[in-house]
Amino acid sequence: MKKNIRWAVIFSAVVLVCLGVIFFGQLTADSKGAEIYLGGKLYKTVENIENTQPGEITVRTPEGFNRICWHNGSIWVEEADCASLTCKKYGKATLIGETIVCAPHGLVIKVVGKTDDEVDAMT
C-alpha cells in the first residue's frame, strides 16, 4: 500500500513537471518578436520569431538591401550588400533586447519581448 502511494506521488510529480514544461514552452513560444527599424523609424514588426515556419523579409534602402530571416526564436541577416557585412557576420540574435545593426543602411533589428497582457490576448 505504501509503495502504491509512493508511485502515485512520483507519477503526479512527473505529470506536473510535464505540464509545467508544456505551459512554459507555450508562454515563451508567444513571447518573442522583433522590430525592424530603418533610419530610426519603425519599419516593420515581426509578431513572432518563435515560429517553426521560417519567415523572411528583404529591406531595400537607397544604400542597399538586407535579407532578414527568422526561425525558431532567432533572427538574423541572411544576405546584405553593405561593405562591412557586420550585420551578416553578427549571426543570430535570440535574446530579448539583442540588436543587429547595419550602420551603412541605417538598419536596426531588435528582438523584443511581449508583455503578459499581449500573451493573454493571444490565447
In the complex, which residues of this chain contact Zn ion (CB under 5 A)?
Answer: 80, 82, 87, 102
Residue among 85 and 119 whose Cβ is closer to Zn ion: 85
- In angstroms, what is the minimal distance from the CB of 17 to Zn ion? 44
Cα 52 from chain centre: 11
Q: How far is the CB of 109 from Zn ion (least distance, A)?
A: 10
**Is the Cβ of residue 31 or residue 74 nearer to Zn ion in the bound state?**
74
Burial track 49-58 (b if 16+ CB lie within 10 A, e otherwise): bbeeeeeeee
Least CB distance to Zn ion at residue 34 (A): 16
| Least distance (Å) between residue 66 CB and Zn ion | 6
- The 10 Å Cβ neighbour count of residue 103 is 11
| Residue 90: partners with Cβ closer than 8 Å, 6 or more residues away | 76, 77, 100, 101
Contact 10, 2 (CB under 8 A): no
Nearest CB to Zn ion, comparing residues 75 and 87? 87
Instruction: Indicate the residue among 38 and 119 with the shorter CB distance to Zn ion.
Output: 38
